[in-house]
Amino acid sequence: MQLFVNDLTVMDFSYLCPERGMVGESWIVDVVLTGDLNDESMIQDFGKVKKNLKRLIDDYVDHKLLVPADHGPLAIVHSTDSEQVDVRFTCNDGGVIQLYCPAEAYAFIYGETVTMASVGRYLREVIATHLPENVDNLALNLRTEQICTPFYHYTHGLKKHDGNCQRIAHGHRSKIDIIINDAHSVEREQYWADRWQDIYIASTEDEISLQQRRAQGEVPSDQAYRSFAYVASQGYFEILLPDKCCEVITTDSTVECLTQFIFNEEKRHHTGERVKVLAYEGVGKGALMCD
């Protein structure tokens, strides 16, 4: 007998990719449990499946940076006197992405790249030890939202958030709706999709000089780099990445602030016209602003 739960949860996270750099993602999770009926004539109560499996997925992947542990040019240093972990990742083009964060900000995935298959294996291993005895097998289906209009992948951190959003490198795969004079502007939606494809969105107040970094190693001299850091309730967070991968704004990077940022840019581009912006944060949620 099998029990299935579609749309169990959405994992919002970022991962390191040799080709693309740092990629923000949102994956929908479906699960199927195979097993015998228990004393309640169930494989497992739906309420318990949703609560327990979602909690495990949230704890191990959601709002983390996923690192391919077998990527060749990767250095991982665990601090001997704190919970900090220094991760230095070199992309195929020679660009470096480096983070110095609490251990709970990362998930280390076996493989040279992070894929749905490798993340699925990682999650099955984690969840298998928490399943009831009558459950013989767990199948996970990871998938993206079907989006027929332009979308982008962005990574950010929210230092003022009291939950896991404070982690400096988590992200989203998000659509964008821009409506000018009551008509969708695919041209402007594509503009933002291109501008924020695999982007890191940071706040000016979090920028530090390269000399202030706590992470180990020299900054490469082949291109311009920027570094950002802050202290939040979970600890000290720091990131270094190429300047070309950054969009630096004067506010926080909440979806509300990003919507305001896009709206202001569109108003300058469409002087005297009615503008409406719906910016999404992952799947099925976001912020709206209009005249």
Q: Where are the alpha helices (DSSP H) in 161-247?
A: 186-195
pLDDT at 109 over 90: yes
pLDDT at 69 over 90: yes
Of 178, 148, 184, whose CA–CA distance to 258 is shortest? Answer: 178
**What is the pTM (predicted TM-score) of this model?**
0.94
How many domains, the chain? 1
pLDDT at 99: 98
Taking only the tens place, the pLDDT of each residue in 155-170 is 999 999 999 999 999 9
pLDDT band at 138 (very low <50, low <70, confident <90, very high): confident
Q: Structural domain of residue 57, as residue ranges?
A: 2-173+207-246
Q: Residue 119 is inside which H or E element, if any? A: helix 116-128
pLDDT at 39: 61
Dist CA 264 CA 269 (whole Å): 9
Q: Do residues 154 and 224 lie in contact, with contact meaning Cβ atoms separated by under 8 Å?
A: no
pLDDT band at 80 (very low <50, low <70, confident <90, very high): confident
What mean pLDDT do residues 134-160 have? 93
Q: Let me know if residue 269 belongs to a domain.
A: no
Return left, alpha or beta for 155; rule: phi > 0 is left, psi -120 to 50 is alpha, else beta. beta
% of the chain beyond a pLDDT of 90: 84
Give the list of residues 6+ apart from residue 83 with CB closer than 8 angstroms, or none. 102, 103, 104, 235
Q: Do residues 286 and 278 lie in contact, with contact meaning Cβ atoms separated by under 8 Å?
A: yes
Taking only the tens place, the pLDDT of each residue in 35-63 is 766 766 665 655 676 788 889 999 999 99
Query: What's the token pair of residue 87?
Result: 């991760």
CATH of the domain at 70: 3.30.479.10
SS3 state at 177: strand
pLDDT at 132: 72
Q: Let me know if residue 185 belongs to a domain.
A: no
pLDDT at 47: 67
What mean pLDDT do residues 85-100 have? 97
pLDDT at 136: 74
Q: Let me know if residue 278 belongs to a domain.
A: no
What mean pLDDT do residues 194-220 have? 97
Give the list of residues 6+ apart from residue 38 with CB closer than 8 angstroms, or none. 44, 132, 134
Q: Let me know if residue 233 belongs to a domain.
A: yes
pLDDT at 251 over 90: yes
pLDDT at 71 over 60: yes
Dist CA 85 CA 77 (whole Å): 6
Across all residues in the chain, what is the average pLDDT? 93
Task: Return the number of other C-beta atoms located less than 10 Å from residue 164's C-beta.
Answer: 18
Query: What's the token pair of residue 218?
Result: 């020299």
Q: Let me know if residue 268 belongs to a domain.
A: no
Long-range contacts of 40-43 (CB under 8 A, 24+ apart): 42/3, 43/1, 43/2, 43/3, 43/134, 43/135
List phi, psi (to 5°) of 150: -60, 145
Q: Let me know if residue 196 belongs to a domain.
A: no
Task: Give the residues across from 27 on adjacent strands.
Answer: 11
pLDDT at 111: 95
pLDDT band at 275 (very low <50, low <70, confident <90, very high): very high
> Cα-Cα-Cα-Cα dihedral of 48, 51, 53, 54, to 10°?
160
pLDDT at 128: 83
Dist CA 246 CA 155 (whole Å): 10
